[in-house]
Amino acid sequence: MKKQVKKEEIKEEKVTITPPNFKDGELWIRGTAPLVIHKFSAKARKIIKDKQQAGSTATKNRRKEAKNFEECFHEARHISMEGWDGIPAGAFRNALVDACKLVGFASTAAKKALFIYQDGFDRDEGTPLVRIIGEEPRLLESMVRVGSGLNKTVDIAVRPQWLDWGARLRFQFDADLFTLEDVVNLVSRAGVQIGICEGRPFSKNSAGMGWGTFCVVTDPNEKAALAAKFNGGAK
């Protein structure tokens, strides 16, 4: 028998929804280890696309082209529409989210509370980029293993490497969940314990190569020097 609920027993609960309380911040960072980037090249995408379009005939009478190391080097770089080199903004956001796990803050909440502003966009694929402050990268050749299980083969990976680099990091954060000091500390942790891009300490595939670490710049003179390079058009 269904119990009847009296009208006076029904209580209405009022929910108050507050407006978003987001604030902006800005930091300058300096690399404490080499930065290595590996963009998925347009040539590699074309090879995969052509193979998928060819279907079962893709491997018939297929000749392996000679590897152009200089071309591989340039295609591994994220070049903006303005011509400067950049780091995917998502690399920093991912590092901050991973750093949240170190202090017991849920990553699902962090994804909704931390955002990185881009300085520009990749001229080929539109990826949001944070501009690299530094000289032109050098060509780095590394021996790597590709594939899985018994199908692993040895290859030479060609990537750009910056030995001396920095960046201006502009971010947005939910001030109901974080203070500005919280975010600064997260960036510091991300720089030391997580890292960005290839060979970072918190790589999903290995223990890293000791690359991609950074620190927050606090010295006013060093900040001014980075700002001068950034505003002066140095790549």
Q: What is the pLDDT of residue 235?
A: 44
Average pLDDT value over all residues in the chain: 86
Q: What is the pTM of this model?
A: 0.83
- Render 49-74 in DSSP notation, one character per residue: HHHHHHGGGTTTTPPPPPP-HHHHHH
User: Is the distance from CB of 168 to CB of 119 less than 8 angstroms?
Assistant: yes
Please tell me the predicted confidence (pLDDT) of residue 46: 46
* CA pair distance 113, 231, nearest whole angstrom: 29
CA angle (90, 189, 224) in 5-degree steps? 80
pLDDT of residue 148: 66
Model confidence at 206, pLDDT cuts 50, 70, 90, reads confident
pLDDT per position as a tens digit, 38-64 = 997 554 554 555 555 566 555 555 666
Tokens of 184: 């600064």
